[in-house]
Structure 1
Amino acid sequence: METQTMNAPAATDSKLKEFFTDQLADIYWAEKKLVKALGKLQEAATSSELSNAFSDHLEQTRNHVTRLEDVFNLVGEKAKAQKCPAMAGIIDEGEDIIDETEENTAQRDVGLIFAGQKAEHYEIATYGGLITLAQTLGYSDAADVLKQTLAEEKEADALLTQIAENSANIEASQEPNE
């Protein structure tokens, strides 16, 4: 892909461009780590519906990593990952949920949905901000790529909400407190 030309008055060597690429590096690290984390969530899920949702989103997340590499290229930068403390914390919480809940329970699924939605909401906020910055910097092609990912993150969040409301939460409310 070629480096995109600028359409807006923002300078390509501005502090805003630097902030934008730092945030890209942050979410790039996060998406790469989520590939591993989603596999763990999929394996830990009790219901096949939730396991399948995590499996499907795992495939999407692999595509998100590739898209971010494309975005780096579109803005004339080499893809680089920068540790994202926020996502590291969210992933740690998800691992704690797996460790602290009983296998094969709806309660575990409720916890996994919580963990998944925390990650989704972080990603939704990040991609929304990146789209705005890309547009400000004149990177309309990059913004379009980021919009694809944002739409998928919103769909994944909505699916997790649907699973929680239609099955996991109801089933967990009926499990005995042991």
Structure 2
Amino acid sequence: MSAFVIDAFDFSRLKERREGDVLVSDLARLSAESVNKSASLHWTLQGGADSLNHPQLIVSVSGSIELMCQRCMTPLKFAVESESILILAKTDERADEIDALLDDDSVDVIVGSKALNVMELVEDEALLAIPLAPKHDVCPDNAALDDLMGAKKPSPFAVLKGLKQ
């Protein structure tokens, strides 16, 4: 994975904004979940501060990746559209304090860093957006499954009932 490292606190204070595209194949953990490694995702990172003046990053990821349908084991296109607000804290203790103070499930409080890898943030965001067990709403070709279901063996109870008569 190509490292793109920022000082998260300076990035937020200066209200910087960066964006780009990254190949799924460059994100090891996401690549392991994807069927098509050549897909790419678009990402945006915006620095700023929340209403209480805590430094924050807004990370968004969009694009389409192919996952394996857990029902029919064929590729499934999945649209990634995700955005997270990350409040930055200097320590774990301060992160817990801010989290309790905000009491807001729509934001995450993380420990910021002077060497924060943006691609890891992007990959985390994409991984959190994909389903744990992806499935088509309606699988495209259930013919093989239907054949298996249609070729049912007779129930052992039906065989016993036949013998009894």
Which TM-score tier does this pair reach, normalised by the shorter chain? under 0.3
Q: Which has the higher contact order (CA 8 A, sep 6+)?
A: 1
**Which has the larger share of strand?**
2
**Which has the larger share of helix?**
1
TM-score normalized with structure 2 length: 0.23
